Amino acid sequence: MITVTEKLAEDNEKKPVTKKAPAEKMLKAKKRLLSKDATSGEKKTTAKKGSETYENYIFKFLKHAHLDIRISSKYIDIMKPFINDIFDIFKFLMFRFLRFG
């Protein structure tokens, strides 16, 4: 039976080791750097916009107010439009107060 160390030793013996000259390594490194510099100016990364969710705030509030009450994700999905409606009403009232204020 072959042990793991013997198998590893056999695998290492089978693979030929090729050493590259330092000049070749330097050329490849320079090419890599140049290609990164060229592409970094062209590519524009956009940040992913997360959807507005209030799940964490609902969980934190319930944990603070009622320690023994838990809420399922189904009820969180019901609460999301409710909270969005409340914020829309709040925005509408604030704009009205600013306009006539």
pLDDT at 61 over 70: yes
Q: How far is CA 48 from the centre of its chain?
A: 9
Average pLDDT over residues 44-68: 80
Rounded alpha-carbon distances, angstroms, from residue 48 to 7, 32, 74 = 47, 28, 25
CB 63 within 8 A of CB 75: no
Name the helix (H) or strand (E) containing 1: none
- The pTM for the full model equals 0.43
Q: How far is 67 from 86, CA to CA, in rounded Å?
A: 25
Q: How sure is the predictor about 62, in pLDDT bands with cuts at 50, 70 and 90?
A: confident
Separation between Cα atoms, residue 31 and residue 28, nearest integer Å: 5
Domain extents for the chain? 55-100
Return d(Cα 101, Cα 97) in angstroms, integer.
Answer: 5
CA pair distance 37, 26, nearest whole angstrom:
16
